[in-house]
Amino acid sequence: DVKVTQSSRYLVKRTGEKVFLECVQDMDHENMFWYRQDPGLGLRLIYFSYDVKMKEKGDIPEGYSVSREKKERFSLILESASTNQTSMYLCASSLWNKGQGADGYTFGSGTRLTVV
Amino acid sequence: DQQVKQNSPSLSVQEGRISILNCDYTNSMFDYFLWYKKYPAEGPTFLISISSIKDKNEDGRFTVFLNKSAKHLSLHIVPSQPGDSAVYFCAASGNQFYFGTGTSLTVIP
């Protein structure tokens, strides 16, 4: 089974802190994604990566950056956390860049981040 | 600009009855569609998909219907079970995946 593991289930950080959210997948997928989920807004794409050291902005990249130094690991960085970044963050991976195939994307369990 | 819309934020259905979740999209170039199911404090999990060359795909109690002319897809769950209570997201594939806002389904025992 493909596994996508997010290192923290719950995080509480202070405004202005630098925050790292880590995501690791074990199926050698080329493509990895970071989404945030907010009530009434669904899943919104923050950043994605098609290969090591490659990154592309999604729909809402402001206030975030990413790092992909190894194929299996995709990190989301909040340079200076703000209260409007309180959200559920979901990492996903896929074999094809459109996620086409039997099951599209495989998601991690999510990190609930609260910025106070 | 929401390219995939789920206009019903919530739906309640009696156990054993049919649940119908709807999804509309705006881009006629979308060619692959999926439904994901999400429980609280968990990531979404794949449920069922359909390619634009089909108009129906069935997997057990779950059936997805695609109406390309109306840019509409729907998920039917028959019979509904209490364990189906979750948030359901539809997604459409363009140059990336676009997700709807989700519909929270409650199946009442």
Q: Say yes or no: B30 contacts chain A, CB-CB below 8 A.
A: no
> DSSP readout, A33-48?
EEEEEETTTEEEEEEE
Instruction: Give the Cα separation of B11 and A2 in Å (integer).
Output: 31
Query: Do you find a cis peptide bond into B79, omega within 30 degrees of 0?
Result: yes
Q: What share of chain B is helix, strand, coil (3-state, %, to 5)?
A: 5, 55, 40
Q: Tell me the pLDDT of chain A (116 aa) as tens digits.
A: 658 999 899 999 999 999 999 999 998 888 899 999 998 888 999 999 988 989 999 989 999 999 999 999 999 999 999 999 999 999 999 876 554 554 578 899 999 999 99
Q: Say yes or no: B100 contacts chain A, CB-CB below 8 A.
A: yes
Query: Locate tokens 């600009």: which residue?
Result: B1
Cβ–Cβ below 8 Å for B46 and A103: yes
Instruction: Give the Cα separation of A33 and A40 in Å (integer).
Output: 21
Nearest neighbour of A109 by CB, restricted to B32, B43, B101:
B43
Radius of gyration of chain B (CA): 13
